[in-house]
């Protein structure tokens, strides 16, 4: 199996959560070929960023403002913070959680 083949798959397959997650197991960059609607699916985004925090950059804006999604991404990839939506920065609990994970994260 070759996860890179996802780029050639028909749109319905690139929008199929199970298909994309299986491709991800084989080829991390398969995420680049996931259909856009998946990036608005909270369960999908959480599953992906728990494996690859850098994937937060593909998430729909509301999910980049979702505290749980962003914190899960940060546990895998500290620089995922760059992709957090601006409203989170006004959330005191979020900022405290970020600092607890990595005291240097706000530099």
pLDDT digits (tens, 9 = 90+) for 2-33: 778 888 999 999 999 999 999 988 887 888 89
Q: Is 42 helix (H, G, I), strand (E, B) or coil?
A: helix
Cα 62 to chain centroid distance, Å, stands at 12
| Cα-based torsion angle of the residue sequence 71, 75, 79, 80 in order, rounded to the nearest 10 degrees | -40
Whole-angstrom distance, CA of residue 38 vs CA of residue 15: 6
Entry pTM: 0.85
Residue pair 29/52 in contact (Cβ under 8 Å)? The answer is no
Q: Is 93 helix (H, G, I), strand (E, B) or coil?
A: helix
């Amino acid at each position: 199996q070759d996860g890179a083949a996802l780029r050639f798959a028909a749109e319905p397959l690139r929008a199929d959560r199970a298909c994309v997650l299986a491709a991800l197991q084989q080829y991390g960059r398969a995420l680049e070929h996931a259909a856009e609607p998946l990036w608005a699916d909270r369960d999908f985004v959480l599953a992906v960023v728990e494996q690859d925090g850098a994937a937060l950059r593909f998430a729909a804006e509301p999910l980049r403002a979702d505290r749980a999604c962003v914190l899960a991404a940060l546990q895998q990839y500290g620089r995922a913070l760059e992709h957090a939506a601006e409203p989170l920065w006004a959330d005191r609990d979020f900022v405290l959680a970020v600092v607890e994970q990595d005291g240097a994260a706000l530099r």
